[in-house]
Amino acid sequence: MSYNHGQPPHQEGPYANTQGPPPYPSAHPHMGQQPYGAAPIIIMQQQQQQQQQQQHQRTVATDIQDLLRFFEKRDQTKDALVWTPSTFINLAKNVISLCKEVREIIRREPRCLKISSPCYVLGDIHGNYQDLVCFEKSLWRATPLLSPASFLFLGDYVDRGVHGLEVIIYLLAAKFQCPKKVLLLRGNHEIRKVQQMFSFYKECLGKFGDTLGKEVWDAINTVFDVLPLAAVIDDKILCLHGGIPSPTACPGDFVSTVNDIIVPLSEPESESSLAWEIMWNDPFSIDTNTAAQIPSGAIGGFFPNTRRSTGNYFTGEALMAFLEKNNFTHVIRAHEVVQVGFKVQLSGRLLTVFSSSHYCGGTNEAATVLVDSAKLRLIRLDTT
Ligand SMILES: [Mn+2]
């Protein structure tokens, strides 16, 4: 046992058993001239603390955050939300190393997170960096660490919008800095094949060039492969990207079955029908459909999702049976754009939240849900 870090063995021992403090480490040569006494010890301790703090403060996540601030707009000489060509090499190096760090944090999490309220739940961002910054300014202006609430993101960070890269690296840096406060689930766009069909793959190649772009895209997708698929707040409120799974995909208890999904999951379509349904399913709503459209062969209120050509629809009856079986009260999901940013459906037991305004050039607003004790508060965000 030693209280004296980095000193030769003959100098080891508690301070109390020595005549005055031990000699200063040679790493502080200017301190070696000081006579023994209280004041130099305090100075040395302060210096060590400052050094330690500086070491802790400079991380790959803070480097990314600095680069993002520059991207947002550093000064009068630069337009907002524009990179300069020279930033990309540095950025790519940092993103790849951030992905390695964050992947290790996330892969240790259960597939179904257990969260205590208060918790803000955000839906699809889809490359809308401006809206993400609006949420930051409203909900975690300095850092999520200063908020009593945690922040749960339901997936679909990339594709559609032009700033998928900026959105995902912002969130990964936040995850690195506040792993318990920032919680990220997987959406159906956190899948390679989907990004190749939509825009994120091209976005990475366009920003970094073919070789580096592919490396960055691969690194980010290795993080997506380990993202959790669901979360339960206060043991009662289930949160996921798309919808509840059919009994065929999830025959047993939801939480334990989801926790058994393999990690990493790089081919969810062939590797886990449960993960696939969680990411793709939609509620069958009488607002947009008619009861007559429910096919007679629908099993337990689930039937093929013809609009997406994959996944299932689930009815209100299917939802009630699922909630009762798993002892949940509500489901919060994202996945579908809704005009005011949220929509209450299926007898108030299902909430859709969408956190990207003006989606695909439309007029919709962005919203978040605050789960606080037994209350669900729906908050619309002014993104103008
Ligand atoms: Mn989606």
DSSP secondary structure, 132-150, as one string = HHHHHHHH-SS-GGGSSSE
Distance in Å, CA 281 to ligand 1 centroid: 9
Distance in Å, CA 239 to ligand 1 centroid: 14
How many residues comprise the chain? 384
CATH for 216: 3.60.21.10
DSSP code for 27: T
Distance in Å, CA 342 to ligand 1 centroid: 14
Coil, helix or strand at residue 374: coil
Contact 172, 102 (CB under 8 A): yes
Place of tokens 């007898």: 347
User: For this structure, is 189 an active site residue?
Assistant: yes
- Asked if residue 163 belongs to a domain, the reply is yes
Distance in Å, CA 26 to ligand 1 centroid: 58
Distance in Å, CA 354 to ligand 1 centroid: 10
- 29: exposed, middle or buried (Cβ count in 10 Å: 0-12, 13-18, 19+): exposed
Range of the domain at 360: 60-381
- Asked if residue 25 belongs to a domain, the reply is no
Distance in Å, CA 243 to ligand 1 centroid: 10
- Asked if residue 32 belongs to a domain, the reply is no
Which pLDDT belongs to residue 297? Answer: 72
Distance in Å, CA 242 to ligand 1 centroid: 6
Which pLDDT belongs to residue 14? Answer: 34
Contact 153, 122 (CB under 8 A): yes
Distance, first Cα to last Cα, the chain: 60
Which pLDDT belongs to residue 51? Answer: 58
pLDDT in tens, 58-102: 899 999 998 898 888 867 777 888 888 788 888 999 999 999 999
- Asked if residue 194 belongs to a domain, the reply is yes
Q: Is the pLDDT of residue 325 over 60?
A: yes
- How many distinct structural domains can be found in the chain? 1
pLDDT in tens, 233-267: 999 999 999 999 999 999 999 999 999 999 999 99
Place of tokens 């698929």: 229
Place of tokens 């803070």: 62
pTM here is: 0.84
Distance in Å, CA 124 to ligand 1 centroid: 7
- The predicted model gives 266-270 an average pLDDT of 96
Neighbours of 25 (CB within 10 A): 15
- Asked if residue 294 belongs to a domain, the reply is yes
pLDDT in tens, 2-38: 333 333 333 333 333 333 333 333 333 333 344 444 5
- The predicted model gives 317-330 an average pLDDT of 97
- Asked if residue 39 belongs to a domain, the reply is no
Which pLDDT belongs to residue 47? Answer: 64
In whole angstroms, what is the distance from residue 203 CA to residue 200 CA? Answer: 5
Q: Is the pLDDT of residue 276 over 80?
A: yes
Contact 332, 119 (CB under 8 A): no
pLDDT in tens, 175-210: 999 999 999 999 999 999 999 999 999 999 999 999
In whole angstroms, what is the distance from residue 57 CA to residue 59 CA? Answer: 6
Catalytic site residue from 5, 10, 56, 189: 189
Distance in Å, CA 176 to ligand 1 centroid: 24
DSSP code for 354: B
- The predicted model gives 283-308 an average pLDDT of 78
Distance in Å, CA 289 to ligand 1 centroid: 19
- Asked if residue 30 belongs to a domain, the reply is no
- Asked if residue 68 belongs to a domain, the reply is yes
Distance in Å, CA 315 to ligand 1 centroid: 19
Distance in Å, CA 107 to ligand 1 centroid: 22
- The predicted model gives 120-138 an average pLDDT of 96
